[in-house]
Amino acid sequence: MITAVIIAAVVLAVAAVLIAVGLRRARGGGRGLKQRFGPEYDHTVARHDGDVRAAEQELRDRVRLHGSLKAEPLPPGARERYVAQWAGVQEQFVESPQQAVVEADALLARLARDRGFPDGERFEEQAAALSVHHPHSVNGYRSVHTAVYQKGGTEEMREAMVKARRLFEALTAEHAVDSSRNSRRSSADRGHAAWALPRRHAKGSGTS
């Protein structure tokens, strides 16, 4: 009888510990996701109309599906070609902002594919994978992709290009597996100075 009581007490104690650990993980899961995804966490919550549970489940699914992805190195010479192409897109923006946005969107899709992310023809899947590894810069890609289909003003397209450049820089970096810190440093050090387009030279200024 005494042995049975001791065993029961041990079982209850173990169960209590497991429950406590589970509760701590449940409470800490949101903080961990928010720390990992940063602005992407807020973006996902907003997309789910404030439903934190649904947003966090989506983020966990992204990590499960894409967390083990390892960025592929660019082939020799590819980085230089991409940098030249991006410079050309920026120059094109002065004369044709809408066409430049289209070219930037396609360029980022190709670049992400070459780095080992899903093909850009499946934009949502590609963006989801990028968000796991580049959560601080993926929204710029979304902004450019949206600008392709929504005819906004020149200033809106310009801002989308500025944001998209952060992901471009992350994907063309020598060691861009997880660019969270690099992206924050890039935006702090270079910021909008990296975009050399004078507003007064752009056509169709700021109005849709």
pLDDT in tens, 72-87: 999 889 999 999 999 9
Around Cβ 162, how many Cβ atoms within 10 Å?
18
- Report d(CA 104, CA 123) in Å as an integer: 14
Around Cβ 169, how many Cβ atoms within 10 Å?
20
What is the average pLDDT across 88-111?
96
**Higher model confidence: residue 14 or residue 63?**
63
Structure tokens at 158: 């310009």
- Report d(CA 179, CA 13) in Å as an integer: 43
For residue 184, pLDDT beyond 90: no
Question: Distance of CA 32 to CAs 6, 56, 59, 81, Å?
Answer: 38, 10, 11, 38
pLDDT at position 31: 85
